[in-house]
């Protein structure tokens, strides 16, 4: 069940062996791009934007919609596009598996408003950093209360009249405002922490295991397996050497199905090149006395960028330029990153034993080169020095401290805004700030798998089937000729889209049954073919917690059950009929005919059929039909004859 | 052979055959053989053996020893071959039955030692040396050696197999020399038996179905045709060509690589007249049958030939262009939209060069190779581009040269690599997928594009090429190596940009291009990757060296931040970058381009000298210090304004720093600077060309005493005399050259009648003191003392001593023999130790 149309912010539900598992819980925040920014400080420009009116001059929407440089924005608290809630009853979801902190942002909507009663599994850094991201989001939105909540424009008839992209926005009626901190806390309390390679039993039916995915601190891929089937869920993985533990590829081998999501959003950009671009442009701007604004999330790529700058600023002669990191969770994010040693790459882990902080941003803070503040209010305004580099959220440019800096610095061409987060289109993000004099540089740094890496991974892991979002099975619309920018595998990947249900291509054929020692003792296997032995088992199968147990070889010795109460069917001991032996082998027709002749039958005729032979006993008006898997004796009400013939047939077969 | 060696030889022979003695290492044995070879070239081998019976004993002894080391056995075989190369010596050894024992079936051939490749190799090389005269041929025939050589052609050791083939060729040539050389019979019926046998074997191998056999035969033929150009080789070809032709008809063609080599070798051989129709037919057939991997080298080889039918050249060129034609076809839309001007141009140009790119049917094999895999596609394109690059500068390159379509192809390949090409067919789509981000092809295409700058191209096409290069330089995805190639290509295109009279030195569109280029360069100078910063600086140096004087160039440069950034990179953490920054800023400074003329920059300009001196005195790495010395030398030579103010002070400071430097290259560069200063003080060095018209010596700039005083003042002699005894030979050599030049100069002063300073009255301090570890500054020397010292030195003697390599003593044969004996413990008590 695909509940999200965003391939990097997935939300899928997998039904597998009587369990219902939600894979990730991503929140599509691109919907916020349709809203006006929330300024921290009263902005005359934003508050005086003209209202939007229809072509015929009808201005009934002018309170809700504002026009800015040819674009129309909703003047209201930003809203998010939630995962699909109608496709499947979310209260039936047993567990939610989270693969990284970016993919859990919709969690409060699911756990608090759908009747969900299950457990959420995630690693510790995922939870801690996920909490920071949610906290930041709630803080950004709650600290700028907005009286107005627009809903008129969502009316389907009205929406049709609006200009793009509002006209084309999907499922606007389901868009929701941000959750509260209380809901966040309640949602996070349902999470159970897990470690890499830990095996978690779900109702005895399946086992789920998180594996390192190399993308972010604590990010994981998941293996969901029963005794005979294995589904791998790959979401947001990276093969590059950045700060997290490297990706565990080997454990993904032998999968029946590999669900592949969270590939890079910028397949044409090489992260190394982008980091170079980032540094060069930063240096050029600062040298000219300009400021650099980096809209970013409070965790993730920022660690790598700071590490890069740590090495770079000295060589570029920029040591005196202050770096500011402004976020309500800036402090916690910087500190958390230093304590999750076991989740870091080997290089950083070994630093801990020296002991040294694994990330060099500790030194940047110590030497006062990097300063962090919860917001622009307070200490920051005292320390603020220009030119400087500011890292702050939110990358959508719709809320957070970044809005203030865009208003502050947008008018000067000396300043530069450098986009490093790939989640939002930078042109759309900048739309409400136009006209803009400051330089804009787009250096998306997305370390997730690109298509070349995917094809190598698939070659290595060799899943029987690949399942992925439809976006990955065709080249990106803007580069339709780039046939290299899609998944290429054999058999072709099966694709899904939002609100679609896909039957996974495997049949469950076997189930594992445990046999008690006494029962095992009573078995006498017979060798049918070299290497294959068989024994028949008659026993009562007990099924509990999805475990099957064959404990008793003699069902009749079970204690008599009281017949008075009505019991559940599964508890009934089935009637045990006298067991007929099982037969195996094949009947050699010539020898069979000879035997028949020996036993006094004459006038025997053999006919070959498509499936075997027919032996005609013309005198007795009897017909013996011998096929590969059945033998029929057809005679006219002569039971004696039938039994005689049957016994002759049985002589040629093995019984057990 | 000198007496000392003669004395040592018996002991050495004894060591070699003594299994208890440690075996001398292979290089010693190798050197020993070289020495014997030199000795036998100068004197009679027979005499040598007679005078040194120990050698014959050695040869006969090795056969009797069971546990002799394979190295020594191999050595003995080769030694015997060297001796037997002279016919009388051969007879002498034959009499002793020594040769059959060494090379016949009773020798090592049948023993366990034969399993060691060194022994087999020694056997072959021995025979190779031996086979120099008719008697040797009989010997080979009598002992069935040729059959053994046949079998060794397929030896598991590549060295042995190759040597066996070479030996066969040698024997063939030898037997032909004695036989049918004069009047070759085309049928070869009356060829010497040995030659017949070898030819029979080659013919048989050519018909074999086993590819290694065919390869061996082809290699033998290739070597034969490459080495001998006697008329009989033509007969050989006539006899064999039909069989070679059969190979081309097989599918797949066996040993294609060797076949190509053979065809090219035959085609190059002067023995075959230009009328060799049969050969050209065969080549034409090979061109159409061989797969794209092998056909490229064949086509290139054909096009490099000076004489060859025009039709064949056309075919070869078509074949060579095939992969690029496929690429163009898969990406070019016939009516190009305005944005695809270049490609549209390309197509039109194709139309006017019929038979080159246009109208060529897609070759299925080429397309298959392009589509097979990423590595095969990249390999084929890289090879094709490299072949064309090799062909372009040759005088015999095809004419008309399809400059425009080739440019189109190079640009298209680059566009495929950066993912911006628009494919128009499924092949194009596939190429797009394969080549996207392929650095190897990108580099090859940039090299090729750079080379194409030498042809003439329409102006708008040049602008298109520059635009592509700019994109490549701009793209964040370009790897450092690609950037370097892009810089090189850009430089070449700028060099060749058409000049118009209305514009200063550069083409009309160049100023705009330069402005954009400097923006990119600015960004690249800030790159976190040091390789990129380094190549950007090198590029900047190249640019300013060529166009520093052009107003357009300096205008664009000074409008950018490039000079400022280059200055900052003097403090780069990476030493290579610092070195390049030194060169670049030095270059900019001598062109007066160091920085804009704002007051802030004026300070910077003045302090560059100070900054470079700081680097010279304090930088921990050698590269930046060497670069500073080069810049200073150049400044001195060109009379740079910053140092011209007080040249003597400048030279004195630099020489003092250079003389204390630990890096010998800095010291050599310091001497170079001193030489320039000498030239400026005393007049330029005299031309040494004996045929040059002798100009009358110009009157010296100033009187000798004054000039010498200036030299003393900058402590040039102090530096030079000390350098004369430098522990690094190049420094001492350079200093010797410098002092010789000085002495000549002074002599020429004297010949012009300048008063000769009286040296007798001066007490010459022992000149040896400069050889000591003096670092304390001394007071200025008196010119008279210096002159006296100069005369007292045997500079010529010193020069010739220095000219000898440092191991000249250890290289003597005597030393070699002593060494080998010392290893064997024979020279106990002798302290000789060459190491």
CA atoms within 13 A on the CB side of B746: 21
Strands A12-16 and A19-23: antiparallel
Contact across the interface for A280 and B561, Cβ inside 8 Å: no
Q: Between A182 and A43, name the one with better pLDDT.
A: A182
Q: Is the CB of A555 inside 8 Å of chain B's CB atoms? A: no
Task: Check pLDDT > 70 for residue A467.
Answer: yes
The span from the CA of B313 to the CA of B328, in Å, is 22
Q: Which of B422, B429, B561 sits opposite A483 (nearest CB)?
A: B429
Residue B730 included in any domain: yes
Contact across the interface for B523 and A280, Cβ inside 8 Å: yes
Q: Which of A277, A311, A488 sits opposite B476 (nearest CB)?
A: A277
Contact across the interface for B573 and A312, Cβ inside 8 Å: no
Nearest CA in chain A to B578: A315
Q: Which of B436, B561, B572 sits opposite A315 (nearest CB)?
A: B572
Residue B279 included in any domain: no
Task: Check pLDDT > 70 for residue B373.
Answer: yes
Q: What is the pLDDT of residue A638?
A: 81
CA distance A291 to chain B (A): 16
% of chain A with per-residue pLDDT over 90: 52
Mean pLDDT, residues A204-232 taken together: 93
Domain residues for the domain of B651 are 646-683+702-751+764-771+781-812
Q: What are phi and psi of B528, to 5 degrees?
A: -75, -10
Mean pLDDT, residues A469-482 taken together: 87
Render pLDDT for B188-208 as a digit per residue (tens, 0 to 9). 567 788 888 898 999 999 988
Helix (H) or strand (E) holding A556: none
By the 8 A CB rule, do A330 and A374 touch? yes
Task: Check pLDDT > 80 for residue B339.
Answer: no
Nearest to A223, CA basis, from A238, A214, A210, A235:
A210
CA distance A251 to chain B (A): 28
Nearest CA in chain A to B572: A315
Q: Which residues of B touch A418 (CB under 8 A)?
A: none
Range in A445-454, A590-599, B601-610 with the lowest mean pLDDT? B601-610
CA atoms within 13 A on the CB side of A246: 8
CB pairs under 8 A between A and B: 75
By the 8 A CB rule, do B486 and B473 touch? yes
| Chain B: residues touching A (Cβ < 8 Å) | 419, 421-423, 428-430, 432-434, 436-437, 475-479, 522-524, 526-529, 532, 561, 564-565, 568, 571-574
The span from the CA of A112 to the CA of A131, in Å, is 16
Q: What is the pLDDT of residue B355?
A: 38
Contact across the interface for B433 and A482, Cβ inside 8 Å: yes
Q: Which residues of B touch A274 (CB under 8 A)?
A: 476
Q: What is the pLDDT of residue A155?
A: 85
Residue B213 included in any domain: no
**Confidence band, pLDDT 50/70/90 cuts, at residue B347:** very low
Fold of A12-32+72-265+448-496: Metallo-beta-lactamase; Chain A (3.60.15)
Render pLDDT for B431-461 as a digit per residue (tens, 0 to 9). 888 888 889 999 999 999 999 998 888 877 8
Query: How many residues are there in chain B?
Result: 835
CA end-to-end span of chain A, whole Å? 47
**Confidence band, pLDDT 50/70/90 cuts, at residue A325:** very high
Residue B342 included in any domain: no
Residue B672 included in any domain: yes
Q: What is the pLDDT of residue A557?
A: 40
DSSP A522: H
Contact across the interface for B528 and A317, Cβ inside 8 Å: no
Q: What is the pLDDT of residue B595?
A: 60
Q: Which residues of B touch A443 (CB under 8 A)?
A: 476
% of chain B with per-residue pLDDT over 70: 83
Render pLDDT for B252-309 as a digit per residue (tens, 0 to 9). 888 899 999 999 988 888 877 655 678 888 899 999 888 888 899 999 999 998 888 8
Using CB atoms within 10 A of its CB, is residue A478 exposed (0-12), middle (13-18) or buried (19+)? exposed
Neighbours of B292 (CB within 10 A): 23
Task: Check pLDDT > 70 for residue A495.
Answer: yes
Q: What is the pLDDT of residue A145?
A: 85
Phi-psi category of residue B359: left, alpha or beta, with phi > 0 → left and psi -120 to 50 → alpha: left
Q: Is the CB of A320 inside 8 Å of chain B's CB atoms? A: no
Q: Which residues of A touch B478 (CB under 8 A)?
A: 273
Render pLDDT for B688-702 as a digit per residue (tens, 0 to 9). 544 545 444 555 556
Q: What is the pLDDT of residue B393?
A: 87
Contact across the interface for A452 and B429, Cβ inside 8 Å: no
Mean pLDDT, residues A329-348 taken together: 91
Nearest CA in chain A to B432: A482
CATH number of A271-442: 3.40.50.10890
Residue B600 included in any domain: no
Q: What is the pLDDT of residue A362?
A: 92
Beta strands in B269-309 (DSSP E): none
By the 8 A CB rule, do B248 and B292 touch? no
Mean pLDDT, residues B669-680 taken together: 92
Mean pLDDT, residues A541-570 taken together: 57
CB crowding B147-180: b at 16 or more within 10 Å, else e = ebbbebbebeeeebbbbbbbbbbbbbbbbbbebb
Q: Which of B422, B475, B478 sits opposite A481 (nearest CB)?
A: B422
Task: Check pLDDT > 60 for residue A549.
Answer: yes
Q: Which of A270, A284, A482 sits opposite B523 (nearest CB)?
A: A284
Task: Check pLDDT > 90 for residue A544.
Answer: no
Residue B667 included in any domain: yes
Domain spans, chain A: 12-32+72-265+448-496, 271-442, 583-655
Mean pLDDT computed over every residue of chain B: 81
Render pLDDT for A368-405 as a digit per residue (tens, 0 to 9). 999 999 999 889 989 999 999 999 989 999 999 999 99
Render pLDDT for B169-188 as a digit per residue (tens, 0 to 9). 999 988 887 654 555 555 55
Q: How many structural domains are present in chain B?
A: 1
Q: Which of A274, A277, A483 sits opposite B432 (nearest CB)?
A: A483
Mean pLDDT computed over every residue of chain A: 88
Fold of A583-655: TATA-Binding Protein (3.30.310)
B-contacting residues in A 434-453 (Cβ below 8 Å): 443, 452
Q: Is the CB of A289 inside 8 Å of chain B's CB atoms? A: no
Phi-psi category of residue B241: left, alpha or beta, with phi > 0 → left and psi -120 to 50 → alpha: alpha
**Confidence band, pLDDT 50/70/90 cuts, at residue B539:** very high
Residue partners of B484: CB distance under 8 A and separation at least 6: B531, B535
Which SS3 state, helix, strand or coil, does residue B448 take? helix
Range in A302-311, A417-426, B1-10 with the lowest mean pLDDT? B1-10
Residue B664 included in any domain: yes
């Amino acid at each position: 069940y695909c509940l999200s149309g965003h391939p990097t912010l997935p939300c899928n539900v997998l039904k597998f062996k009587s369990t219902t598992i939600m894979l990730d819980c991503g929140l599509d925040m691109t919907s916020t791009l349709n809203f006006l920014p929330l300024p921290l400080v009263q902005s005359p420009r934003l508050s005086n934007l003209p209202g939007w009116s229809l072509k015929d001059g009808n201005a009934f929407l002018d309170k809700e919609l504002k026009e800015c440089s040819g674009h129309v924005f909703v003047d209201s608290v930003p809203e998010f596009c939630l995962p699909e809630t109608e496709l499947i009853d979310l209260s039936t979801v047993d567990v939610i598996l989270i693969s990284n902190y970016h993919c859990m942002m919709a969690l409060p909507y699911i756990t608090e408003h759908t009747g969900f009663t299950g457990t959420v599994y995630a690693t510790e850094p995922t939870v801690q950093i996920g909490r920071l991201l949610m906290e930041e989001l709630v803080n950004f939105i709650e600290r700028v209360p907005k009286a107005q909540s627009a809903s008129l424009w969502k009316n389907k008839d009205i929406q049709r009249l609006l200009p793009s992209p509002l006209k084309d926005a999907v499922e606007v009626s389901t868009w929701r405002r941000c959750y509260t901190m209380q809901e966040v806390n309640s949602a996070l309390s349902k999470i159970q922490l897990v470690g890499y390679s830990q095996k978690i039993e779900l109702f005895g039916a399946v086992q789920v295991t998180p594996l390192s995915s190399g993308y972010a601190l604590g990010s994981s891929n998941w293996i969901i397996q029963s005794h005979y089937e294995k589904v791998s869920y790959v979401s947001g993985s990276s093969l590059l050497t950045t700060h997290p533990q490297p990706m565990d590829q080997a454990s993904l081998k032998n999968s029946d199905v590999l669900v592949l999501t969270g590939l890079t959003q910028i397949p044409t950009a090489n992260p190394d090149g982008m980091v170079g671009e980032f540094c060069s442009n930063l240096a050029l701007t600062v040298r000219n006395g300009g400021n650099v604004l980096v809209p970013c999330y409070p965790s993730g790529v920022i660690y790598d960028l700071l590490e890069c700058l740590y090495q770079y600023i000295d060589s570029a002669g920029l040591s005196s330029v202050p770096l500011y990191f402004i976020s309500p969770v800036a402090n916690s994010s910087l500190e958390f990153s230093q304590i999750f040693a076991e989740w870091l790459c080997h290089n950083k882990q070994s630093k801990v034993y020296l002991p040294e902080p694994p990330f060099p941003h500790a030194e940047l803070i110590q030497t006062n080169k990097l300063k962090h503040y919860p917001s622009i209010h307070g200490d920051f305004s005292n320390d603020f020095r220009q030119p400087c580099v500011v890292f702050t959220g939110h990358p959508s440019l719709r809320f957070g401290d970044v809005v203030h800096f865009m208003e502050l610095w947008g008018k000067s061409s000396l300043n530069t805004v450098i986009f490093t987060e790939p989640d939002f289109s930078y042109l759309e993000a900048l739309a409400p700030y136009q006209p803009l004099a400051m330089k804009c540089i787009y250096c998306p740094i997305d370390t997730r798998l690109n298509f070349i890496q995917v094809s190598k991974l698939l070659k290595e892991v060799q899943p029987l089937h690949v399942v992925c979002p439809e976006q990955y099975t065709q080249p990106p619309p803007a580069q339709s000729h780039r046939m290299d920018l899609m998944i290429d595998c054999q058999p072709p990947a099966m694709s899904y889209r939002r609100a679609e249900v896909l039957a996974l291509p495997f049949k469950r054929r076997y189930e594992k049954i445990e046999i008690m020692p006494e029962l095992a003792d009573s078995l006498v296997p017979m060798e049918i073919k070299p290497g294959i032995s068989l024994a028949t088992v008659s026993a009562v199968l007990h099924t509990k917690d999805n475990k099957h147990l064959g404990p008793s070889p003699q069902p009749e010795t079970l204690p008599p059950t009281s017949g008075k109460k009505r019991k559940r069917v599964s508890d009934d001991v089935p009637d045990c009929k006298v067991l007929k032996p099982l037969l195996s082998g094949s009947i050699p027709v010539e020898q069979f005919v000879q035997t028949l002749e020996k036993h006094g039958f004459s006038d025997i005729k053999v006919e070959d059929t498509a499936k075997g032979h027919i032996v005609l006993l013309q005198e007795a008006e009897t017909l013996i039909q011998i096929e590969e898997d059945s033998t029929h004796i057809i005679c006219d009400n002569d039971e004696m004859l039938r039994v005689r013939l049957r016994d002759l047939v049985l002589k040629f077969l093995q019984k057990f | 052979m000198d007496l000392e060696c003669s004395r040592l030889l018996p002991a050495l022979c004894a060591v070699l055959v003594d299994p208890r003695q440690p075996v001398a290492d292979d290089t010693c044995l190798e050197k020993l053989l070289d020495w014997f070879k030199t000795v036998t070239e100068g004197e009679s081998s027979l005499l040598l053996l007679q005078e040194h019976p120990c050698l014959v004993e050695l040869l006969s002894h090795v056969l009797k020893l069971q546990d002799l080391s394979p190295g020594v056995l191999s050595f003995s075989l080769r030694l015997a071959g060297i001796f037997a190369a002279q016919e009388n010596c051969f007879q002498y050894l034959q009499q002793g039955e020594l040769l059959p024992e060494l090379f016949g079936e009773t020798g090592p051939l049948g023993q366990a030692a034969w399993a060691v490749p060194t022994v087999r190799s020694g056997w072959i090389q021995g025979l190779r040396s031996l086979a120099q005269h008719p008697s040797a041929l009989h010997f080979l025939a009598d002992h069935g050696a040729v059959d053994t050589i046949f079998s060794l052609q397929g030896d598991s050791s590549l060295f042995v197999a190759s040597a066996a083939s070479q030996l066969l060729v040698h024997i063939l040539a030898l037997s032909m020399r004695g036989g049918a050389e004069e009047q070759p019979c085309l049928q070869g019926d009356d060829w010497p038996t040995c030659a017949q046998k070898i030819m029979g074997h080659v013919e048989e191998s050519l018909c074999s179905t086993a590819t290694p056999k065919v390869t061996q035969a082809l290699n033998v033929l290739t070597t034969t045709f490459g080495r001998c150009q006697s008329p009989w080789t033509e007969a050989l070809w006539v006899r064999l060509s039909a069989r070679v032709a059969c190979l081309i008809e097989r599918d797949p063609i066996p040993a294609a690589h060797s076949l190509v080599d053979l065809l090219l070798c035959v085609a190059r051989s002067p023995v075959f007249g230009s009328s060799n129709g049969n050969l050209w037919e065969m080549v034409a057939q090979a061109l159409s049958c061989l797969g794209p991997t092998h056909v490229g080298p064949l086509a290139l080889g054909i096009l490099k030939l000076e004489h060859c039918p025009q039709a064949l050249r056309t075919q070869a060129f078509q074949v060579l262009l095939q992969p690029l034609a496929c690429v163009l076809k898969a990406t070019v839309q016939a009516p190009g939209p305005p944005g695809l001007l270049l490609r549209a141009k390309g197509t039109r140009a194709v139309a006017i060069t019929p038979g080159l790119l246009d109208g060529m049917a897609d070759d299925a094999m080429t397309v298959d190779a392009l589509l097979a895999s990423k590595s095969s596609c990249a390999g084929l394109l890289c090879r094709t581009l490299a072949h064309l690059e090799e062909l372009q500068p040759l005088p015999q390159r095809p004419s008309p040269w399809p400059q425009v379509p080739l440019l189109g192809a190079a640009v298209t390949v680059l566009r495929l690599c950066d993912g911006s090409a628009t494919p128009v067919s499924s092949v194009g789509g596939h190429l797009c997928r394969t080549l996207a981000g392929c650095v190897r092809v990108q580099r090859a295409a940039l090299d090729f594009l750079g080379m194409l700058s030498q042809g003439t191209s329409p102006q708008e096409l040049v602008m298109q090429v520059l635009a592509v290069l700019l994109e490549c330089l701009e793209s964040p995805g370009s790897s450092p190596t690609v950037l370097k190639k892009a810089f090189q290509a850009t430089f070449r295109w700028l060099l060749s940009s058409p000049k118009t009279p209305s514009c200063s030195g550069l083409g009309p569109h160049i100023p705009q291009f330069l402005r954009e280029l400097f923006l990119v360069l600015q960004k690249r100078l800030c790159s976190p990757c040091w390789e990129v910063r380094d190549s950007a600086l090198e590029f900047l140096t190249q640019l300013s060296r060529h166009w520093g004087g052009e107003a357009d160039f300096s205008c664009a440069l000074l409008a950018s931040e490039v000079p400022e950034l280059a200055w900052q990179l003097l403090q780069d953490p990476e030493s290579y970058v610092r070195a390049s920054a030194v060169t670049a800023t030095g270059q900019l400074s001598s062109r007066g381009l160091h920085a804009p003329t704002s007051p802030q920059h004026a300070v910077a300009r003045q302090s560059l000298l100070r900054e470079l001196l700081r680097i010279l005195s304090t930088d921990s790495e050698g590269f930046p210090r060497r670069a500073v010395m080069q810049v200073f030398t150049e400044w001195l030579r060109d009379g740079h304004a910053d140092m011209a103010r007080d040249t003597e002070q400048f030279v004195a400071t630099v020489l003092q720093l250079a003389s204390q430097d630990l890096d010998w290259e800095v010291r050599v560069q310091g001497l170079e600077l001193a030489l320039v200063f000498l030239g400026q003080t005393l007049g330029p060095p005299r031309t040494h060309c004996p045929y040059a018209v002798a100009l009358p010596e110009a009157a010296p700039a100033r009187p000798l005493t004054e000039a010498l005083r200036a030299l003393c003042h900058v402590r040039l002699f102090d530096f030079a005399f000390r350098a004369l005894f430098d522990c690094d030979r190049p420094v001492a050599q350079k200093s010797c050259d410098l002092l010789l030049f000085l002495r000549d100069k002074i002599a020429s002063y004297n010949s012009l009648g300048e008063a000769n300073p009286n040296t007798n009255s001066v007490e010459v301090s022992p000149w040896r003191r400069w050889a000591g570890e003096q670092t304390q500054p001394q007071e200025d020397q008196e010119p008279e003392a210096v002159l006296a010292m100069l005369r007292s030195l045997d500079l010529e003697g010193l020069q010739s001593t220095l000219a000898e390599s440092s191991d000249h003593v250890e290289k003597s044969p005597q030393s070699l023999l002593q060494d080998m004996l010392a290893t064997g413990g024979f020279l106990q008590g002798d302290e000789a130790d060459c190491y």
